[in-house]
Amino acid sequence: MTGTPAFEQLRAIAWPLPPGAHSAPRWTGDGFIVDGRPVPVLQNRVGDTGWNDDLAALVEAEVSAERPIGIASRRYAIESLARYGAIRPDGIIMEIGCASGYLLGELRRRSAEVGLIGCDYALQPLLGLAERLRGIPLLQLDLGQSSLPGRMCDAVVMQNVLEHIEDDAVALREVARLLRPNGLLVLEVPAGPQFYDSFDRLVGHFRRYRMRELTAKVRDAGFEILDRSHLGFLAYPAFWLLKRYGKLRGGDQGPDYVLRTLRAGRAGPLQRTVAQLESALRPYLPMPIGIRCLLTARVK
């Protein structure tokens, strides 16, 4: 994408100075140059949150690109970005929580000209991603103490990130600051506060959301709601039974419970069929409940 409008915009961004650096970072198209040396990931200061490299590695080891709910999640994000005009040659799309790189890779295959930025709190997954997916600026980012310049991108995608941030209102206001006028936010979070359990605690979730609560918080941060739905509508009965069974067993469960929960969503013929059917029905069928809340909004 060297020489494209998006590349020129990426090169012109005033990237934040990493800890200990003396000269402003420069994006080359294949990485950053900091103090005269190449850097694959632009590191930044991060606070103490509910996420870390160990948790990221645990989830990364168990979650594959073929996971049906992940495929459906990425499909919703890409369709929303396309519907509201964010995938274009002069567009800059930032994914916050990009560790796996699956969404970034699909966006790159859809358009080689759109500008992409990948951000994550955990550093180690970013370093691995830098080796697998070249030509995309990758940054370590804590939305609670971001030093990124304002109005730097046209769209932000956050899938299963906001629940890891203690002060989600601050995070949403920071996303609004990063977006250009009429910029797009595509958001996904776990649904159902009543389902919050040891799995959520062990993977660093501060909360699960009701759609009404999520919508109010997004509006308070300065956004107009464009679209909202749920993911996992057809799988909701099975999910409810699984969570109900866990509560009946009582007590906190350890890392083995996390692994079993993650593995329950592995690809299989039934899971794939249900996820594909739900994605096909979503434009025509209201989905008032589900495993995750989906929301698309535009900054005012």
Does residue 189 contact residue 260 with C-beta atoms inside 8 Å?
no
Residue 11 neighbours by CB under 8 Å, 6+ apart = 26, 27, 28, 29
Along the chain (300 residues), what's the average pLDDT of each consecutive run of 10 residues? 86 93 94 96 81 69 77 96 96 94 96 96 92 94 93 97 95 98 97 91 92 98 98 92 75 66 72 90 93 97
Q: Which domains does the chain have, with CATH numbers?
A: 42-299 (3.40.50.150)
Q: Which residue has the tokens 């699956």?
A: 102
Q: What does the buried/exposed string (b/e) look like for 12-37 if buried means 16 or more CB atoms within 10 Å of the residue's CB?
A: ebebbbbeeeeeebebeeebbebeee
Strand ranges of the sheet holding 92-96, from the earlier edge strand across to the other edge: 138-140, 115-120, 92-96, 153-159, 179-190, 292-299, 223-231
Cα distance between residue 296 and residue 264, in whole Å: 28
CA distance 1 to 7: 6
Query: What pLDDT sits at residue 67?
Result: 86
